[in-house]
Structure 1
Amino acid sequence: MKILLTGGTGFVGRRLMSHLRPHHQVSVLSRSPNKVYQRLGHDIEAIASLDDLQDLDGFDAVINLAGEPIADKRWSPAQKERICHSRWRITERLVALMHAGRRPPRVLISGSAVGFYGRQDDTLVDEDTHPHPEFSHDVCQRWEQLALSADGEQTRVCLIRLGVVLGAEGGALAKMLPSYRLGLGGPIGSGRQYLSWIHIEDVVNLVLFLLDHPECRGAFNATAPEPVTQAQFSKTLAACLGKPHFARIPGWLMRLLFGEMADLLLTGQRVMPVRLQQAGFHFRYPTLDKALKETLSPLLKT
């Protein structure tokens, strides 16, 4: 299968590439081809701009994971614009190229996030849950709408609404580990808000699953079937590291430091992967304890 991948040099993209490259021909879209070669190897075809393409007829599948990290910086107006347009523009251009050809890719797997649902308190959330309107929802809703405009007889579209991805190479866990390894870890805010997470290997496996199952289309919650509260997550992480668990980051301090962006961490969603499970997908790491022990095991040996 010939695949076009966006976001291939990112946290999830790099892990996904290690599974795709032995079996598929992958081209990676990146404004910096040198970064592609440095991170993924010189045998990978790097495409610097979609403007170099007339259509996408040469590809069997497109996996669209590109986007400015949503929780890395305070949400200034300029940062909000970067978050939106880094997702919207590339998705819109991909879809335009798919429509421009006669034999477009058979599948588009496009990223989204559980932020689509907005704050949901402790309500169990599935793919049909009515979202709460706020910035994270607005970003994801437009992102998904653009991707779904490619859906038709020749192309099916799958949307993956990612939770917090757990992996040793990066993401949220890498930012938490320094304080937890010093014994200074603890929950954020009340600790009662839910955190929907997924092991990075399960992210890779579900992308491969959606590639290989032509009956799958539409939105899929990419989260493990065991969402936990912030307090449960924090306690489990500390226990896996063999560290104390007593510190707490108050909500007022998070809002002072990060403004509106802090709401991503101080509110939450209790998301269930209903449609993935109905489709027959099985999680390798369904429980947090198992996921964290596998992720942290290389670190605990050092």
Structure 2
Amino acid sequence: MKTYRKIVLAGGNGYLGRVLADYYLDKAAEVVVLSRRRFNVSGNLRCVVWDAKTPGAWMEELSGADMLINLCGRNVNCRYNARNRREIVASRTIPTALLGKAVARLQQPPRLWINVTSATIYRHAEDRAQTETAGEAGYGFSVDVCKQWEATFFNCITPGVRKVALRLGIVLGRRDGVFPRLLNLVRLGLGGRQGDGSQYVSWIHEQDAAQITEWLLNGPAVDGVVNATAPEPVRNKVLMQTLRQTYGVPFGLPAPAWLLAIGARIIGTETELILKSRWVLPLRLQELGYRFQYPGIRAAIHDILSTRS
């Protein structure tokens, strides 16, 4: 007997979407992924094509769902030129508003709607941790994106539906995302500190990221903003040192800020993604009793390396 009738993942064909789909396949009778392109499915996993812009038959897929998790959003790993800025904002706000309209018209809406946003909404912080109650919003394009995204989400009128904006940290996992890229640097002998290495990294193991969504569904009736980061953030130099030690590489060349700026321009990204200090704590999760599987970075890295294919 499955625990849940249906879990819907909007924009769930990316890395985190695959993590969540795998997590819920044994728990839900149906896992439905709303995707702009069709992909191979099996068993109780279904792919429903939508354009994330217009109403359609896909809207009925939300009916009777236990939970809707919105993961829509273009990758921010690019240069912030005018065109990319427009696309990054639109890829988040337009699908979110559309999902709100779909949920509002349902007789049996999802019990919980999680909008996965980002912990980067907080300011560059090296002086003190940022929490849901004592955090300060930063400034700049990435922060503006988060603000518009969350405003769109909370402005959706969806009676009877509990809503959580999940401010996710950097997800570390086996198959994709940041971790394989950092590991490649270590393998090449380039796994030293980035910049001066003092910037905090607020990270989370992929299994905690998935487990938190289920805890929010079944635990205390939490709504509003929730930080989803491990309770032990680390400085960049500690992260890279721990990764080197665990992998068995004795040294790693550092990458000063000026070199990162040149490299970022060459590969088409922004140094902010590396150099911004994200010191974010999951205050609400801890106060309400969530227990992290991987609170510390060493155990998290060891787990990922030990099971990585």
Task: Provide the TM-score with structure 1 as the length reference.
Answer: 0.91
Alignment deviations for residues 186-210 of structure 1 (CA, whole Å, 9 cap, x no partner): 1110101111011000001101111
**Equivalent in the alignment of 1:44:** 45
CA displacement 1:219-250 (0-9 Å, x = unmatched)? 11111000010111111010011102341111
Structure 2 counterpart of 1:4: 8
SS in 1 for 2:270: helix
Residue in 2 that maps onto 1:126: 131
- Return the offset for 1:100: 2.3
Paired residues, number:
295
Structure 1 stretches lacking a partner, 5+ long: none
Decide whether the 8 Å contact of 1:122 with 1:269 is kept in 2.
no
1:88 aligned onto 2:97: no
CA–CA distance in structure 1, aligned partners of residues 165 and 144 of structure 2: 15
State the partner residue of 1:278. 287
Q: Is the 8 A contact 1:227 1:271 kept in 2?
A: yes
Query: What displacement does 1:26 show?
Result: 1.8
Q: Does 1:78 align with 2:83?
A: yes
Name the Cα RMSD after superposition: 1.9
Does 1:110 find its partner at 2:115? yes
Whether the aligned pair in 1 keeps the contact of 2:186 and 2:252 (CA below 8 Å) is no
Q: In the TM superposition, what whole-angstrom CA distance separates every residue of 1:83-142 from its partner, at most 9, and x where no partner exists?
A: 211111111100011122333222101111111113223321101212112111111111
Cα distance in 2 for partners of 1:85, 1:247 equals: 38
Deviations 1:143-180 (A, max 9, x none): 11122224654011011111111111011111111220
For residues 143-182 of structure 1, the aligned pairs below 5 Å read 143-150=149-156, 153-182=159-188
8 Å CA contact retained: 2:244, 2:252: no
Q: Secondary structure at the match of 1:26?
A: strand
Aligned AA (1:283):
F
The answer to whether the 8 Å contact 1:118/1:134 transfers is no
- Aligned partner of 1:97 in structure 2 is 102
- The one-letter code sitting in structure 2 at the alignment partner of 1:81 is R
Q: Which residue matches 1:297?
A: 306
Match of 1:264 in 2: 273
- Is the CA contact 1:60–1:106 (under 8 Å) kept in the aligned structure 2? yes
Q: What TM-score do you get using the length of structure 2 for normalisation?
A: 0.89
| C-alpha contact (below 8 Å) 1:117/1:269 kept by paired residues | yes
Measured in 2, the distance between the counterparts of 1:127 and 1:200 equals: 21
Q: Distance in 1 between matches of 2:201 and 2:208?
A: 17
2:82 and 2:228 map into 1 onto residues whose CA distance is 29
Equivalent pair of 1:150/1:156 in contact (CA under 8 Å): no
State the alpha-carbon separation in 2 of the partners of residues 105 and 298 from structure 1.
34
Unaligned 5+ residue runs, structure 2?
A: none
Give how far 1:255 is off: 2.1
On the 8 A contact 2:104/2:158 being kept in 1, the answer is no
State the percentage of identical aligned residues: 33
Q: 1:169 to 1:122 in 2, by over 3 A?
A: farther
* CA offset digits 1:48-86 (Å, max 9, x no partner): 116223564343321111221222x22222222222111
More helix by share: 1
Alignment-mate amino acid for residue 222 of structure 1: A
